[in-house]
């Protein structure tokens, strides 16, 4: 079946990056010169991915309005899971775009290595096309050994985090970078153990429970972690089996910015509400894949660099994919 990717952007770097994405996924790249033409094309084709330059705010608003007018924002032709926002700015500096009903994935344009990073992002497009298990394998080179760990007790979290840290150090990843990745794993494990479990009505069970609570994780509460390193990229995924994460809340947390306003400790909440933003701010890509009432899988991807400076400025993306 023929596949197409749509690009709505006038930025000179975008076609180069997207050509590599298209090559990776075996699709044809179609560039729309304006919003009107983009909406025409969206009506005509079932694009596997739509890339929109969101630095031009009117571009995004016009696209939303035109789509709403001509197709309806909830049309089958428009799936946020397949929409990718492109910007020169970091997500934390671009909070407004997370409010768009079209928001699915976001990346800040890489300043260099457009081809290589485009090829890497192609893996994300491939992964978002396939709602399957073993998603980590889409992001790592073929034949990469992926190790699986099941956690059936909350006290195993710190042991798992330490095991990840040791794994990275043994893979010759600098200690400082290993600590940062381990910390991110800590956050997503904590969310899977304490924030994901909910009752039949979708009400969270442990959100007010102290995070040092010693508890057996039974049945649906078991948390699965996978880790792999292909020599260039480290991939770690953590899955819970509730599929309960709230899109609005997730997008609010990811773009949280406490640089310019004070952080306030909220009474009645055991979590800090800081973890997700911290993960994305400290380097690496973050992908949420939520199958409603079944599973939420969070994937962390990091390019392994010998220096922290390179690590921190690596190309990264955020993706929030929700499936009913």
Partner 1 sequence: MLTVNKQQTDHRLEVELNGTIEENVNLDQLIGPFEGELIVKCRGITRINSVGVKTWMRYFQNIKAQGKIFKFIDCSHPIIEQLNMISNFACGGEVVSVLLPFSCLKCQSEFIASSKTSDLKANHLKIPAVKCEKPECAAQFDDDPEEYLYFLEE
Member of 2, 142, 309, 324 binding partner 1 (CB under 8 A): 309
Quick check: 182 binds partner 1 (CB under 8 A)? yes
| 99 is a site residue for partner 1 (CB under 8 A) | no
Burial of 321 (0-12, 13-18, 19+ CB in 10 A): buried
Q: Is 267 in the site for partner 1 (CB under 8 A)?
A: no
Angle between helices 57-70 and 35-44 (to 10 degrees): 40
Q: Does residue 186 belong to the site contacting partner 1 (CB under 8 A)?
A: yes
Residue 265 CB, nearest distance to partner 1 (Å)? Answer: 6
174 binds partner 1 (CB under 8 A): yes
For partner 1, the closer CB: 118 or 271: 271
Residue closest to 157 by CA, chosen among 218, 228, 212:
212
Binding footprint of partner 1, residue count (CB under 8 A): 36
CA atoms in the 13 A half-sphere facing the CB of 88? 8
Selected from 1, 200, 265, 267, the binder of partner 1 by CB under 8 A is: 265
For residue 258, state whether it binds partner 1 (rule: CB under 8 A).
yes
Cβ(307)–Cβ(290) below 8 Å: no
Q: Are residues 251 and 173 in contact, defined by beta-carbon separation less than 8 angstroms?
A: no
Instruction: Give the nearest distance from C-beta 109 to partner 1 in angstroms.
Output: 17
Among the residue ranges 24-32, 58-66, 221-229, 276-284, the one whose residues contact partner 1 (CB under 8 A):
276-284
What's the length of the chain? Answer: 324
Strands 285-291 and 49-53: unpaired
153 near partner 1 (CB under 8 A): no
Q: Between 207 and 246, how does the x/- string for binding to partner 1 read (CB under 8 A)?
A: ---xxx----------------------------------
Beta bridge partners of 28: 4
**Smallest separation (angstroms) from partner 1 to the CB of 237:** 19
**What is d(CA 299, CA 146) in angstroms, rounded to the nearest whole number?**
13
**Positive or negative torsion for Cα 297, 293, 190, 153:** negative
User: What is the closest distance, in whole angstroms, from the C-beta atom of residue 231 to partner 1 in the complex?
Assistant: 17
Q: How far apart are CA 289 and CA 218, in angstroms?
A: 22
- The 10 Å Cβ neighbour count of residue 69 is 10
By CB under 8 A, residue 104 contacts partner 1: no
Binding site for partner 1 (CB under 8 A): 158, 174-176, 179, 182-183, 186-187, 190, 210-212, 258-263, 265, 270-275, 277-278, 281-282, 306-309, 312-313
């Amino acid at each position: 079946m023929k596949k197409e990717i749509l690009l709505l952007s006038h930025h000179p770097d975008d076609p180069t990056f997207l050509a590599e994405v298209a090559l990776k996924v075996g699709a044809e790249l179609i560039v729309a010169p304006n919003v009107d033409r983009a909406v025409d094309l969206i009506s005509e084709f079932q694009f596997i991915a739509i890339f929109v330059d969101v630095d031009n705010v009117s571009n995004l608003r016009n696209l939303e309005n035109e789509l709403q007018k001509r197709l309806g924002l909830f049309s089958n032709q428009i799936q946020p899971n397949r929409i990718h926002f492109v910007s020169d700015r970091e997500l934390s500096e671009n909070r407004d775009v997370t409010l768009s009903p079209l928001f699915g994935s976001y990346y800040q344009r890489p300043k260099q290595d457009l081809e290589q990073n485009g090829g890497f992002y192609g893996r994300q497009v491939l992964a978002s096309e396939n709602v399957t298990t073993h998603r980590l394998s889409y992001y790592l080179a073929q034949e990469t050994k992926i190790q699986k760990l099941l956690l059936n007790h909350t006290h195993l979290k710190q042991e798992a985090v330490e095991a990840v840290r040791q794994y990275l150090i043994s893979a010759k990843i600098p200690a400082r970078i290993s600590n940062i990745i381990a910390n991110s794993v800590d956050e997503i494990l904590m969310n899977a153990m304490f924030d994901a479990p909910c009752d039949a009505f979708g009400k969270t069970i442990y959100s007010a429970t102290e995070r040092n609570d010693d508890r057996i994780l039974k049945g649906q509460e078991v948390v699965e972690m996978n880790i792999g390193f292909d020599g260039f990229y480290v991939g770690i995924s953590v899955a819970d089996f509730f599929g309960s994460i709230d899109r609005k809340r997730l997008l609010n947390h990811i773009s949280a910015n406490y640089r310019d306003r004070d952080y306030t400790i909220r009474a009645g909440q055991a979590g800090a509400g800081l973890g997700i933003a911290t993960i994305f701010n400290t380097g690496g890509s973050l992908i949420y894949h939520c199958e409603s009432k079944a599973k939420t899988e969070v994937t962390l991807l990091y390019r392994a660099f010998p220096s922290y400076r390179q690590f921190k400025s690596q190309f990264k993306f955020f993706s929030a994919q929700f499936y009913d």
